Amino acid sequence: MIRHVFEFGLEMLVERKYYVENKEQVKVKQVSELKAFIGTLALSERSLKYCTDGCLRRYLEARNWDLHKSKKMLLDSLNWRSSFKPEEIRWSDVAHEGETGKVFRANLHDRVGRTVLIMKPGMHKNTTAPEDGTKYFVYLMENAVLNLPEGQEKMTWLLDFDGFSLRTNIPIKTSRDIIYILQNHYPERLGVVIFYNPPRIFEAFFKAVRYFIDPKTAQKLNFVYPNDKDSVELMNSLFDVENLPSEYGGKATLKYDHEEFSRLMLEDDVKTAQFWGLDEKSHHTNNGQSGGEVAS
């Protein structure tokens, strides 16, 4: 009897191993097919540089490995990148949006090495044009991707609701545009989202935008409250408390210095130009405006 149980368990393990290996082979084949499809298109050098194997896997993953849907999604993104030109946005184009520290790349990573973007919805009152807020978001997404450690493709968002009110919150249109861009043009870039201590009034706003959030993204959303045991455990599982700012239950200090953050962004602008092979001397964004926090 014991022998039969052992043999049955062994067979199940072998079958599972075969299933996993076969499934991965199918995925590798689909990446190759998507790459072959890309090869039939007359793409620019930038578009070809964008379409790495990792990039193609993210688009396939975002569409549950449906090749047809992944092709459409990728083409839509390539068209969007061709017109919006996110790689050409520079800090001087969006610096005015960052003056309040409403969104910035923090000087820390989570436990698995993901870049952390800290967002403060209560500090969005300096945005007068929705398109400016969207452009600033895209700039920071490109910057966050640029600063991902080798082997890491996702990032963490931490939304701090200190000072939040419907008057200072992100406009609905900007929120809708940001959600659309994130889900459709930065697939599988979001690892986890933390809503830190959101007030009840946020529920009304969230109800207005949740219909634009796809199920896969919704699974990554976490509501965290400082006096809740489960929330504290979640934060400790995601971050090293020695590096996490005290505002979020850690021991580090959070300071936003716009001049220092501007310096870091200007340095990254040079790296961005080098990565994409752009000539900064003749650089001019397609829809740019002239303009200029650091967590430690």
Same domain, 96 and 36: no
pLDDT at residue 293 in the model:
38
- The predicted model gives 98-103 an average pLDDT of 92
Residue 282 domain-assigned?
no
> Residue 149's CB: how many other CB atoms inside 10 A?
11
Confidence grade of residue 285 (pLDDT, cut at 50, 70, 90) = very low
pLDDT at 172 over 50: yes
Same domain, 54 and 132: no
Confidence grade of residue 103 (pLDDT, cut at 50, 70, 90) = very high
Residue 185 domain-assigned?
yes
pLDDT at residue 61 in the model:
96
Q: Which residue has the higher pLDDT, 154 or 168?
A: 154
pLDDT at residue 277 in the model:
92
CATH classification of the domain holding 49: 1.10.8
Contacts of the segment 72-80: beta carbons below 8 A, 24+ positions apart: 73/184, 73/187, 74/34, 74/38, 76/184, 76/185, 77/184, 77/185, 78/43, 78/47, 78/50, 78/51, 80/181, 80/184, 80/185
pLDDT at 265 over 70: yes
Residue 63 domain-assigned?
yes
pLDDT at residue 7 in the model:
54
pLDDT at residue 24 in the model:
85
pLDDT in tens, 243-264: 999 999 999 999 899 999 999 9
- The predicted model gives 82-96 an average pLDDT of 97
pLDDT at residue 292 in the model:
35
Residue 147: C-alpha distances to residues 17, 219, 276 (Å) = 35, 25, 15
pLDDT at residue 216 in the model:
87
pLDDT at 10 over 60: no
CATH classification of the domain holding 107: 3.40.525.10
Domains identified in the chain, total number:
2
Of 84, 100, 123, the residue at which a domain comes to its end is 84
Q: Which residue has the higher pLDDT, 175 or 41?
A: 41
Structural domain span for residue 65: 1-84
Residue 281 domain-assigned?
no
Same domain, 163 and 251: yes
Of 84, 112, 128, the residue at which a domain comes to its end is 84
pLDDT at residue 125 in the model:
66
- The predicted model gives 204-217 an average pLDDT of 82
Confidence grade of residue 286 (pLDDT, cut at 50, 70, 90) = very low
Same domain, 124 and 77: no
Residue 261: closest CA among 103, 70, 131, 84: 103
